[in-house]
Chain A
């Protein structure tokens, strides 16, 4: 096992993994599913069915809307009741279809299974990933078939699999590793075959010793190196993970492929194996529903289109009203104001926080203590940046590298003055990018 490297900064929030011992359960069939037509980065998917069409489970609902896009498949059999919009995690309306289930859950014909994937042509495997609508399931939801087709001038020699799950409270990836290790291993090897790499690292945080042991056991005989990593947030952030395992630094403003790496989440790997070996498209994922207000936190296989309300109901409901409902983890998740939001391909957790667990940011003056700089994994100076941004000196913020911020939340987490640093960074990034685009447009117009 190779020596791992310590990335700069990071914090140690309380783990609160309430559901880590709860096995993944199947969610019962619902009466309706609200399937959004965009659960991925890129162009929205184009609907290929219409209102009142009959659909089967796994049937194609929407075709990819461009090169950087993904297909959407039906989570169950039934009728397209409505083509409308639904509430999304960002508070905006998303185009969606509402499927009324007929209770039979009849499957469509699967995509042709490829049992001999170890000898199959990599381009066939890659095509299958696109056909199955696989996207990054760690949260980014980037279309996987695009990620696995790097341009020829960016040769890839290392595959990094992210089993770290550094966000507190989330346990979906952990349980998936414990309950489905063989499928994950197969998925990893399929990706390795597509990319043509021999260096494979599987990073798992040391707070999951059972997963480390099991995956190491199952990975014997394969080129996969299981790497137990220090428990520190954000160990699972792409750039920090690559650095910890290979000491390579992703260039500022660049992507991992610039240094020969591709990173995949283990849930994505599992979904890839399902798509290639069984021909199952992506319409279901493991999500953790957790939080102290819940009666029975746990992990479930949810179909896309399940509303958060259905998920909370499965967890037994609450014994006190939460102060915050978060989609994702507590460090980078989005807080939502309604439970009428559907679970998407990249929703790794639904977290309820009780009033005593919530901290309201009160934004006193920055006391320049430097805790933010000490913990920033990108080695920025959030305190000084926040003063610049409060005074709307966005050109200064740009010089002080605000665009390198990955919004991990370490700075806000430690700030004694209670400053909403991540919010400042987000505001500045939007401003700086808008100004750059305006300048570029002006230059183009004048030339």
Chain B
């Protein structure tokens, strides 16, 4: 009678670790990768409209951000984490937020500030309070206002021109000086179709609404970002600017103008949804998005800068810890009074 030999497992090399023993296989790399994939259509659109200078800006920002993070990791004697692609993403977003013809050295300064000051001095990924790409952009905006306001119009090589928001600003100045037809005249010759497809001046990655929406919806479908953030941000901007426009159409542009121009769509889907710098809870993220929407609208309607997305998100980043504590809420089954003191 032959017996099948039963093989018992070897127990000298077992892993003994804490539950749970299953994992969803989520990873930071996977999240970053999908965001980069979602951004690629609008990068390609930006290069298509603005030509090689745009490609150069994107490439310089991306490569320098990755290199600076690697360098900082080495200097700080911390383990190398560039392989999670978060620096790559920051570089890409920084480049997408810059004017197409930005000189290389300014891109490098921006990357240095974005990664060095915006991220690494706080301790690397997860520890920074402000969105690194926006820190870089804000620093460049304030330090080099001339360069940062030099825009290229698609189809016209090396001819600088105004972005729609700058044109709006000019029209509004004219209205305030007494020419009350300036704004409606300007709006009449605006083509929303062009704006939707990206045929306008602006930062490399913010112009093509179509591509940005495709990327954003991809991210929501894959549950990489929360849908509540772009939804409430855009809703707030629409309601706020829409109300202003309804109350005074000679002074304010309609909400679709504000949504299709500038960095609102890019900001809503890709910058305000940055997990590190926005609240952890869903409710907190909703308040964050609404706050961004309000500040964007206020800056757009009454502020000195034509564009408000950068500063709106940075200001709300500062409020994130407060929002976290306010929305920590009570656990399941706790009495109502057990919230956390602000």
Contacts and interface: CB of A to CB of B under 8 A. Distances in A.
Interface of A: 7-8, 11, 13-14, 91, 168, 239, 243, 249-252, 254, 293, 309, 312-313, 316-319, 321-326, 330-339, 351-353, 357-361, 364-371, 373-374, 377-381, 383-384, 399-401, 404, 407, 409-410, 412-418, 420, 422-423, 426
Which of B19, B127, B333, B338 has the most chain A CB atoms inside 10 A of its CB?
Answer: B19
Interface string B311-338: 0000000000000100011111111001
11 contacts: A7-B332, A335-B19, A337-B11, A339-B8, A361-B17, A368-B126, A378-B332, A379-B330, A379-B331, A399-B340, A407-B19
B123 interface: yes
Contact of A414 (B24, B81, B331, B333): B24
Interface of B: 6-11, 13-28, 30-31, 81, 84, 123-127, 226, 275-276, 278-282, 285, 324, 328-335, 338, 340-341
A333 B331 contact: no
A332 B28 CA distance: 24
A410 to B, nearest CB: 8
A422 B17 CA distance: 11
B342 to A, nearest CB: 12
Contacts of A413: 20, 22-24
Contacts of B9: 293, 312, 317-318, 321-322, 325, 339, 352
A325 B18 CA distance: 12
Contacts of A333: 19, 21
B320 to A, nearest CB: 9
Nearest to B20: A409
Please report whether the interface of chain A is mostly helix, strand, loop or mixed according to DSSP: loop
Contacts of B14: 322-325, 335-337
Contact of B22 (A330, A336, A418): A330
Contacts of A414: 24, 26
Contacts, number: 198
Contact of A359 (B11, B25, B276, B279): B25
A368 B324 CA distance: 10
B21 A371 contact: no
Contacts of B280: 368-370, 373, 381, 383-384
A332 B19 contact: yes
Contacts of A339: 8-9, 11
Contact of B6 (A317, A368, A383, A409): A317
A357 to B, nearest CB: 8
B332 A381 contact: no
Given A14-B22, A317-B6, A378-B333, 11 more contacts: A251-B334, A252-B334, A323-B15, A335-B21, A339-B8, A367-B275, A368-B126, A412-B23, A413-B20, A422-B19, A423-B18
A316 to B, nearest CB: 7
A313 B20 CA distance: 26
Given A415-B26, A416-B26, A8 B275 contact: no
Nearest to B334: A252
A337 B17 CA distance: 10
B21 A331 contact: yes
B55 to A, nearest CB: 29
A375 to B, nearest CB: 9
Question: Considering residues B17, B21, B22, B333, which has the most beta carbons from chain A within 10 angstroms of its beta carbon?
Answer: B21
Contacts of A337: 11, 14, 16
Given A312-B9, A401-B334, A416-B31, A381 B328 contact: yes
A321 B13 contact: yes
Contacts of B27: 416, 418
Contact of A254 (B8, B21, B126, B333): B333
Given A331-B19, A359-B25, A367 B332 contact: no
Contacts of B19: 330-335, 407, 409, 412, 422
A378 B275 CA distance: 22
Given A326-B21, A359-B23, A365 B127 contact: yes
Contacts of B28: 364, 367, 416-417
A101 B230 CA distance: 69
